[in-house]
Every structure is written in structure tokens, then in C-alpha cells.
Chain A
Amino acid sequence: MTATSSRLARLHDTELVAMAAAGGRREFGELVRRHAASVRGLLRRMGADPALADDVAQDAFIQAFERCADFRGEGTFSAWVRRIAARLYIKRRQKEARWTELSEAEEPVTLMPDGARSLDLDDALKGLSEIERMCVSLCHGAGLTQAEIADALKLPLGTVKSHVKRGLDKLRAQLAVAPTGQGRRAHV
């Protein structure tokens, strides 16, 4: 580890953001290293394939760098970038298809034929329809309110609420059978 990287590693996110807002690319690079996994992981949990997730995550970090001065530190930097990434991903998907069509078209994967398989969150999310997965991830992963999700996805609020509820019910059922500890692992 060089002297610069060890110096950067000691700085708090808010200090790094302030330096990045002044044009510090090294400092921003440290932020990327710290939070890339969180942003990339969220996008994959929202249903993006790895290549698209990385592409959107890069766009999100670039947008974050350009808007560093707008970051008020009211939440964490990680949460801020995750929200940017989530919105960028929604825009990408909206260019491809309407969510209303997706919600009915996608058949969820059956994960527990014998009801005994241990699951983690990433496995369990595969058991949700695409729109349920999206709504649950936006709500609990990106921290958007249900009203914000409805606005972003251009869906009625009631529809979003029922997608979130149904998605959580499915997750609860799938994760409930996982043995203690096994079902809490996070990997992609």
C-alpha cells in the first residue's frame, strides 16, 4: 500500500467527497473502491445481468463525481450512489420495455422443490417476478419510498405496494426454511 492510498484509506467518506468535489480523482477513486460492491450488488439484485450492472454502476459513479458538490451528507455516500444507480437502471430498462408488461411476462424461478434448500438473499430474489424483485430491491436496497418507486416506475402506488408486499411474502417463505446462518450469507 502506497503512502497516498494509506492516507486516503484513513479519510472519512465525507472528507473524500469534499475533495472529489474539488476535482480530486484519486479521492473519488477511493470512494469507488469502498462502495463499488454495494452499488454493483444492488443492481444485480434488481435483476441486471453482470455486464449491464457494471455498466450502470460506472455511469452512476461518473454522475456522482460530477454531482459531488450536491451531496449534502444527509445520508451515507453509498446510499446516495445506490439511489443514482437504481434510477439509471430504471431508465435503461424503461427504454427496453414497459414495467407493466414485464410484471406479467416474467415467470419466477422455482427454488425450493423439496422445501429444504438453504437460501441466501440473492438466491431468494430469483424466486420473485422481475417487477417484485425490482420493487423490493428499490424499497429495501436503494432506500426509495414506495411513492418514489411508483413515480420512477410510472406505476400506480397501489400496484407498487402490492408488488413489495407479495415480494416480501415470497422472500419470507423462502428464507424461513434456510438453516440459521446459511440463509444470511451475501454473495454474487
Chain B
Amino acid sequence: MSDPDAFDGEIERMFARAPAFDDTEAFADRVDRRLGLSWYLRTVVLTGAGVVGGFFAVRETLDAGLGTGLSQIAAMTSQTPQSSAGLDWSQLGALMSSRGLDLAMIPAMPLFWLVSVAVIGAAVASAVHANQGG
């Protein structure tokens, strides 16, 4: 091995020879579990984002005058507006206001972050739980 170039080639061949591991299958399973967890996390976060987005869409729609529209319809038909489930909207609104839960009173951005943090927290908790279970 006096020739440096020949020795470089020899070293590269030695490095190319992978050592033997008897737990390759277990290692591959661990990688697959982590990939599964990563996929699960993304799904939960995307679903959460969809829920948050949907929630805000509904809220904005309500703010845009759906409540007023319902009242107008009720006035026109001389009936109390009720949902198909028999829910009295005016009573629900009064109840929420009395409990300090009037959504329209909560500023949009703080509410957005509040719900986002809750959804992300739930996603992380689920992921940790799933990981411990796996």
C-alpha cells in the first residue's frame, strides 16, 4: 500500500462495505412508524386548519347578517325562527349573551389564535399519545 492513490481507492472500497446489523427490520419499522406519525400529524393539523377556517367562515356569515335575515323571515311569517332541530335562535342568542359567550363580541384575531392554539395543542397531544401507543 505504498501508492497513495491505490490506498485511497482501497479505503473507499472499505468504506463502501456496509457493516452487518441484525436489527435492520426493526430499524425499518421504526422509520416507518415515524413516517406514519408525521403523516398523522399533518392530517390532524390540516383537518384542524379546515375546522378553524370553517368556524370563521360560519362566524363571518353570521356577522354579515344571517341573524338579521332570520329575524326578517320570522317577522314576515309571524313565526319564531326555529331550526329543523327545534332550536329557538333568539333564545339561544339571549342565553349566550347572558353567559358572556356572544361570539360577535370577541375580536376576530384573538379568537383565531385561541382556536388555532387549541387545535394545534389537541393535534400534538394526539400525536404524542399515538407515538406512545406505537
A residues adjacent to B (C-beta < 8 A): 25, 28-29, 32-33, 36-38, 40-42, 44-45, 54, 57-58, 61-62, 65, 120-122, 136-137, 140-141, 168, 171-172, 175-176, 184, 186-188
Q: How far is the CA of A32 from the CA of B23 in the complex (A)?
A: 12
Which stretch from B29-37, B104-112, B123-131 is at the chain A interface? B29-37
Given contacts A32-B28, A58-B30, A58-B34, contact A37 B12 (CB under 8 A): no
How many chain B residues sit at the interface, stated as a range, is: 20 to 34
Question: Quick check: A187 and B1 within 8 Å, CB to CB?
Answer: no
Question: Quick check: A32 and B27 within 8 Å, CB to CB?
Answer: yes
Q: Does B92 contact A (CB under 8 A)?
A: no
Q: Which of A33, A44, A121 contacts B14 (CB 8 A)?
A: A121
Question: Quick check: B34 and A62 within 8 Å, CB to CB?
Answer: yes
Given contacts A62-B34, A140-B11, A175-B1, contact A36 B24 (CB under 8 A): yes
Q: Does B85 contact A (CB under 8 A)?
A: no
Question: Quick check: A62 and B7 within 8 Å, CB to CB?
Answer: no
Q: Which of A36, A45, A120, A121 contacts B28 (CB 8 A)?
A: A36
Q: Does B61 contact A (CB under 8 A)?
A: no
Chain A-chain B contacts (Cβ-Cβ < 8 Å), number: 80
Question: Quick check: B28 and A33 within 8 Å, CB to CB?
Answer: yes
B residues adjacent to A (C-beta < 8 A): 1, 4, 7-8, 11-12, 14-15, 17-21, 24-25, 27-28, 30-32, 34-36, 38
Q: How far is the CA of A62 from the CA of B18 in the complex (A)?
A: 20
Q: How far is the CA of A60 from the CA of B20 in the complex (A)?
A: 19
Pick 17 A–B contacts, CB within 8 A, sort by A. A29-B28, A37-B21, A41-B21, A58-B30, A62-B35, A120-B14, A121-B14, A121-B15, A136-B11, A140-B11, A141-B15, A172-B1, A172-B7, A175-B1, A176-B1, A186-B17, A188-B19
Q: How far is the CA of A38 from the CA of B28 in the complex (A)?
A: 13
Q: How far is the CA of A25 from the CA of B31 in the complex (A)?
A: 10
B4, B7, B11, B32 pick with most chain A CB within 10 angstroms: B11
Question: Quick check: B35 and A54 within 8 Å, CB to CB?
Answer: no
Q: How far is the CA of A12 from the CA of B36 in the complex (A)?
A: 24
Question: Quick check: A36 and B35 within 8 Å, CB to CB?
Answer: no
A120 and chain B: residue at smallest CB distance: B14
Within 8 Å CB of A58, what residues of B? Answer: 27, 30-31, 34
Question: Quick check: A137 and B15 within 8 Å, CB to CB?
Answer: yes
Given contacts A25-B32, A54-B27, contact A188 B21 (CB under 8 A): yes
B1, B28, B31, B34 pick with most chain A CB within 10 angstroms: B31
Question: Quick check: B7 and A168 within 8 Å, CB to CB?
Answer: yes
Give the Cβ gap from B7 to chain A, nearest Cβ, in Å. Answer: 5
Q: How far is the CA of A166 from the CA of B15 in the complex (A)?
A: 17
The 3 closest A-B pairs by CB, nearest first: A188-B19, A186-B17, A37-B18
